[in-house]
Amino acid sequence: MNEKITEELAAAYPGLRMSDELPAVMLNAVELTGNKFVMIIDEWDAPIREQPTIRKEYLEFLRTLFKSSGATSGMFAAVYMTGILPIKKDGSQSAISDFQEYSMVYPGRFAEYAGFTEEEVQKSCEE
């Protein structure tokens, strides 16, 4: 994934400084353009559930982008990840830690946008 993303960034931004480290390439793209990335990972947990043999490598990929790298906030304006598994510990560390996790069960300030509101449930029951 690192190689493919790096190739796509190099094609999109000809003046991009290349590196073996994806976060370095992404930070350079931010410097070059003045724009941070918005990353969307639909079903983030599918590789873990469906291809357990790549679990370790996949979690390491996520860690390089989202785990206390010091670069996460410099690279990303937002990250939206969907999935059915919570972001859990892998060994003694959490898989990723550089952002706040919201879920359908604990949606926080996004409650009005996730699931059904009490008002919607009442209205549905009355109908």
Residues forming beta bridges with residue 76, ordered by sequence position: 37
What's the CA angle centered on 103, arms 27 and 4, to 5 degrees? 35
Q: What is the pLDDT of residue 67?
A: 74
| Whole-number Å distance between alpha carbons of 71 and 64 | 9
Could you read off the pLDDT of 63-110 as tens digits, one per residue?
888 875 667 888 999 888 888 877 655 555 555 666 677 777 778 888
* Interatomic CA distance for residues 31 and 43, integer angstroms: 30
Mean pLDDT computed over 31-41:
94
pTM for the model stands at 0.72
Q: Phi/psi zone of residue 55: left (φ > 0), alpha (ψ -120 to 50 degrees), beta?
A: alpha
What pLDDT, on a 0 to 100 scale, did the predictor assign at position 90? 55
Mapped onto helix, strand or coil, the DSSP state of residue 44 is: coil
Distance CA 10, CA 28 (A): 11
